[in-house]
């Protein structure tokens, strides 16, 4: 089980409607959406969800269990997370997956700082997440 957050920018007044396995979060700006996507795709968030979710059925109450600070347009770390997330989305469209890994590491560092995690705690979370994903593939 893994969180996979993405940004959908709708040009119409009718937003996309997710099915029962997906969650739609309305944001007031594209920057806010990319910020939220960055945090949801970070290692600390993914590990938290992995630790309580059942692989066959993930509830859409993830945001009830993760303390995501309100997006602030004037917060440099919030803006940097949004920028990194947007770059990841662009690279995914271009199928440049190797470059995404570098940006995801930067997202993890910023997310850890935001949640007041030290580098050892982040590394431990990343290792646990990687180990859990390896076991899942076997």
- Residue-wise pLDDT tens digits, 38-61: 999 999 999 988 877 665 555 667
Interval 103-124: pLDDT, tens: 999 999 999 999 999 999 999 9
User: Do 33 and 9 touch, CB atoms closer than 8 A?
Assistant: yes
pLDDT at 59: 60
85 burial type by CB count under 10 A (0-12 exposed, 13-18 middle, 19+ buried): buried
Interval 70-110: pLDDT, tens: 999 999 999 999 999 999 999 999 999 999 999 999 999 99
Q: What pTM does this model have?
A: 0.86
Distance CA 61, CA 89 (A): 24
Sequential DSSP letters for 38-93: HHHTSHHHHHHHHHH-BTTB--S-HHHHS-PPPP-TT-HHHHHHHHHHHHHHHHHH
pLDDT at 121: 97
- Looking at per-residue pLDDT, the higher value among 18 and 124 belongs to 124
pLDDT at 122: 97
pLDDT, mean over the chain: 87
Q: Write the DSSP symbol of residue 11.
A: S
pLDDT at 57: 57
Q: Is the dihedral of CA 68, 100, 95, 91 positive or negative?
A: positive
pLDDT at 56: 53
User: Do 3 and 42 touch, CB atoms closer than 8 A?
Assistant: no
pLDDT at 20: 65
pLDDT at 41: 95
């Amino acid at each position: 089980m893994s969180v996979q957050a993405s940004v959908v920018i709708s040009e119409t007044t009718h937003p996309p409607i997710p099915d029962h396995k997906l969650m739609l979060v309305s944001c007031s700006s594209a920057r806010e959406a990319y910020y939220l996507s960055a945090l949801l795709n970070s290692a600390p968030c993914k590990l938290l969800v992995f630790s309580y979710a059942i692989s066959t059925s993930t509830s859409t109450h993830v945001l009830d269990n993760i303390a995501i600070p309100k997006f602030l347009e004037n917060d440099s770390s919030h803006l940097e997370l949004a920028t990194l997330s947007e770059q990841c989305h662009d690279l995914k469209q271009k199928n440049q997956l190797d470059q995404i890994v570098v940006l995801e590491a930067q997202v993890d560092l910023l997310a850890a700082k935001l949640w007041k995690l030290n580098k050892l705690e982040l590394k431990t979370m990343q290792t646990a997440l990687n180990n859990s994903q390896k076991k899942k593939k076997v």
